[in-house]
């Protein structure tokens, strides 16, 4: 079905007939072992989109047994063949991009354009790691006469991927694409509010030539399906993206098995505008740093730190633009879509209501809204809070919604101190035409990635990840392969 037909079908029926129904294990869909099911909602309407299997330990066990069997064969598939298959996956993803993007938009609430970008980026991730599959070479150090030695890169084994709801497709793919390229297999647990694209992608992989069992998907809650998966000794690496609290819980569950772990947790990332920057450029950068994906991005620029002399101009431009943003159902492609669930909407509202009660100035927004066409759905108005002290919760806690705090600074040391003054260290944006200032700040700011004069500069070729409570380990880039390989040294006496 093409884009227009998919949208028409959804408008007429409130669902899509091709939404998967069960877990994807060993190349086929299966109901939960106890038959349990859950609903997933369209946040743009607040209505049920479809239902899916609510899995538990028994389903996880089946999926792990399948992935363990598949690993024994997949690890020996010639790298050149893995490369070809992953390129075929990318091509099939592009061919089926309309379906994936519509389902992603409906299940998460994001705009169709954002979902289309995520699907295109995910196809590109498969291509990128396809190109790496046959280049995982070892070394041959010179040990002098009498010994010949070499190192080999081996796949770690079965990997687990716990995926959040803000980027269901791209977070999944940035984990499984390098895992598969390295010769690992994967069991995936998508978020309980966004299960469908992971299931569609698992089926797409098999149709593109990935052997059954190499990627299995078990749907359900974190407690029922996620916890038994990450705590199973058959899993040799866990890639987790989500909240700090759950990340710490996952660390404790993997510890007894000494399982490898990549943690991609939250952020409270600063965007610093220096006095010599263009106010319009800073305002535009801040606008999309916080309001893209309705602010539900771990690396969102949620703290604007602006030089005192530029503050009034930036704030007035930013507020004027924020007030013009069109908010609405994702499939109509407004500027900003829904937030992912009614629970999450109440979390965002709770943060802002508390800030208001503390006497902070909500310059714009500060309340929930509905889709202007239907009067339904879970939306939050683009919100800017000015003059926030550094120790205030609005600056210290991740709100994970369209809420920006604004602070001022007088000199470079103060800017860096404010930027580094939270528990998080994921992203940082720097706006100044002075490259010396930009590079001085880039060196001193604590963040996994820094962008200069464009908050979202970068690409999948660059490693991505955080420090401190933002997590550890790197995804994307060639560094993204490291979690899925281990080095073996072999020495031969001659």
226 lies in the binding site for ligand NAD (CB under 6 A): yes
In degrees rounded to 5, what are phi and psi of residue 288?
-85, -20
Q: Which of 9, 33, 151, 243 binds ligand NAD (CB under 6 A)?
A: 243
Q: Which of 210, 230, 304, 360 binds ligand NAD (CB under 6 A)?
A: 230
Select the span of 102-110, 237-245, 359-367, 478-486 touching ligand NAD (CB under 6 A): 237-245
Q: How far apart are CA 443 and CA 430, in angstroms?
A: 11
Q: Which two tokens stand for residue 368?
A: 């929930």
398 lies in the binding site for ligand NAD (CB under 6 A): yes
Residue 9 or 243: which CB sits closer to ligand NAD? Answer: 243
Active site residue 154: no
Count of residues near ligand NAD by CB under 6 A: 27
Contacts of 455 (CB under 8 A, 6+ apart): 271, 285, 286, 288, 289, 301, 427, 429
Instruction: Provide the 3-class DSSP secondary structure of residue 197.
Output: helix
Residue 22 or 226: which CB sits closer to ligand NAD? Answer: 226
Give min distance, CB of 263 to ligand NAD, in A. 9
394 lies in the binding site for ligand NAD (CB under 6 A): no
Residue 22 or 183: which CB sits closer to ligand NAD? Answer: 22
Q: Which of 27, 56, 155, 242 binds ligand NAD (CB under 6 A)?
A: 242
x-or-dash string of contact with ligand NAD, 252-281, rule CB under 6 A: ------------xxx---------------
- Contacts to ligand NAD from residues 142-181, by CB under 6 A: 162-166
Q: How far apart are CA 188 and CA 201, in angstroms?
A: 11
66-72-75-78 Cα dihedral, nearest 10 degrees: -110
- Per annotation, catalytic residue among 114, 192, 264, 398: 264
Q: How far apart are CA 375 and CA 362, in angstroms?
A: 24
425 lies in the binding site for ligand NAD (CB under 6 A): no
Contacts of 490 (CB under 8 A, 6+ apart): 149, 150, 151, 152
Residue 87 or 159: which CB sits closer to ligand NAD? Answer: 159
Give min distance, CB of 447 to ligand NAD, in A. 14
Q: Is 410 exposed, middle or buried (0-12, 13-18, 19+ CB in 10 A)?
A: exposed
Select the span of 76-84, 186-194, 209-217, 486-494 touching ligand NAD (CB under 6 A): 186-194
Select the span of 25-33, 53-61, 147-155, 184-192 touching ligand NAD (CB under 6 A): 184-192
Instruction: Provide the 3-class DSSP secondary structure of residue 369.
Output: strand
Instruction: Provide the 3-class DSSP secondary structure of residue 253.
Output: helix
DSSP state of 66: H
- Per annotation, catalytic residue among 104, 127, 298, 398: 298
Q: Are 400 and 348 a contacting pair, CB within 8 Å? A: yes
Q: Which of 182, 191, 282, 441 binds ligand NAD (CB under 6 A)?
A: 191
Q: Which of 134, 203, 249, 454 binds ligand NAD (CB under 6 A)?
A: 249
318 lies in the binding site for ligand NAD (CB under 6 A): no
Residue with tokens 């409270």: 268
Contacts of 185 (CB under 8 A, 6+ apart): 67, 68, 70, 71, 74, 157, 158, 159, 179, 213, 214, 215
Residue 227 or 360: which CB sits closer to ligand NAD? Answer: 227
Q: How far apart are CA 143 and CA 151, in angstroms?
A: 13
- Contacts to ligand NAD from residues 339-378, by CB under 6 A: 347
Give min distance, CB of 397 to ligand NAD, in A. 9
Give min distance, CB of 210 to ligand NAD, in A. 22
Residue 160 or 204: which CB sits closer to ligand NAD? Answer: 160
241 lies in the binding site for ligand NAD (CB under 6 A): yes
Q: Are 449 and 301 a contacting pair, CB within 8 Å? A: no
Active site residue 298: yes
Contacts of 481 (CB under 8 A, 6+ apart): 129, 132, 136, 178, 181, 182
Q: Which of 24, 41, 52, 400 binds ligand NAD (CB under 6 A)?
A: 400
Cα-Cα-Cα-Cα dihedral sign, residues 22, 161, 268, 289: negative
Q: How far apart are CA 340 and CA 49, in angstroms?
A: 13
- Residues classed as catalytic: 264, 298
Which residues of this protein are in contact with ligand NAD, per CB under 6 A?
162-166, 189, 191-192, 221-223, 226-227, 230, 241-243, 246, 249-250, 264-266, 298, 347, 398, 400
């Amino acid at each position: 079905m093409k884009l227009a037909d998919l949208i028409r079908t959804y408008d007429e029926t409130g669902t899509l007939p091709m939404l998967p129904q069960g877990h994807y294990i060993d190349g086929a869909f299966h109901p939960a072992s106890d038959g349990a099911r859950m609903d997933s909602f369209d946040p743009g309407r607040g209505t049920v989109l479809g239902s899916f299997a609510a899995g538990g330990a028994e389903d996880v066990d089946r999926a792990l047994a399948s992935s363990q069997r598949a690993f024994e064969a997949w690890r020996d598939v010639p790298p050149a063949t893995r490369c070809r298959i992953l390129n075929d996956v990318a091509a099939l993803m592009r061919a089926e991009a309309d379906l994936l993007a519509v389902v992603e938009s409906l299940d998460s609430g994001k705009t169709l354009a954002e979902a289309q970008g995520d699907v295109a980026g995910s196809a590109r991730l498969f291509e990128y790691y396809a190109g790496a599959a046959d280049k995982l070479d070892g070394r041959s150090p010179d040990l002098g006469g009498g010994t010949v030695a070499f190192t080999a890169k081996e796949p770690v084994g079965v990997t687990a991927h716990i995926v959040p709801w803000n980027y269901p497709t791209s977070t999944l793919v940035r984990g499984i694409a390098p895992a598969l390229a390295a010769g690992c297999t994967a069991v995936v647990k998508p978020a309980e509010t966004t299960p469908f694209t992971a299931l569609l992608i698992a089926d797409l992989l098999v149709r593109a030539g990935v052997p059954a069992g190499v990627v299995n998907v078990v749907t359900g809650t974190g407690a029922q399906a996620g916890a038994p998966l990450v705590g199973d000794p058959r899993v040799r690496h866990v890639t987790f993206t989500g909240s700090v609290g759950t990340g710490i819980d996952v660390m404790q569950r993997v510890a007894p098995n000494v399982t490898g772990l990549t943690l991609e947790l939250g952020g409270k990332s600063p965007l610093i505008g220096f006095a010599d920057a263009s106010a319009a450029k800073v305002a535009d950068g801040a606008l999309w740093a916080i309001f893209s994906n309705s602010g539900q991005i771990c690396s969102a620029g949620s703290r604007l730190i602006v030089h005192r002399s530029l503050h009034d101009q930036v704030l007035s431009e930013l507020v004027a633009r924020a007030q013009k943003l069109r908010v609405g159902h994702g499939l109509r492609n407004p500027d900003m879509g829904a937030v992912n669930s009614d629970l999450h909407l109440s979390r965002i509202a709770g943060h802002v209501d508390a800030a208001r009660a503390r006497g902070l100035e909500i310059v714009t927004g500060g309340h929930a809204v509905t889709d202007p066409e239907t009067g339904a759905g879970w939306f939050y108005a683009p919100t800017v809070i000015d003059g926030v002290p550094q120790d205030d919760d609005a600056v210290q806690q991740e709100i994970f919604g369209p809420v920006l705090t604004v602070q001022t600074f007088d000199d470079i040391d103060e800017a860096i101190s404010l930027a580094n003054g939270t528990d998080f260290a994921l992203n940082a944006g720097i706006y100044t035409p002075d490259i010396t200032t930009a590079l001085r700040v880039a060196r001193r700011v604590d963040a996994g990635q820094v962008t200069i004069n464009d908050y979202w500069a970068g690409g999948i070729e660059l490693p991505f990840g955080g420090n401190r409570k933002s997590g550890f380990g790197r995804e994307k880039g060639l560094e993204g392969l490291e979690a899925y390989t281990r080095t073996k040294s072999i020495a031969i006496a001659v």
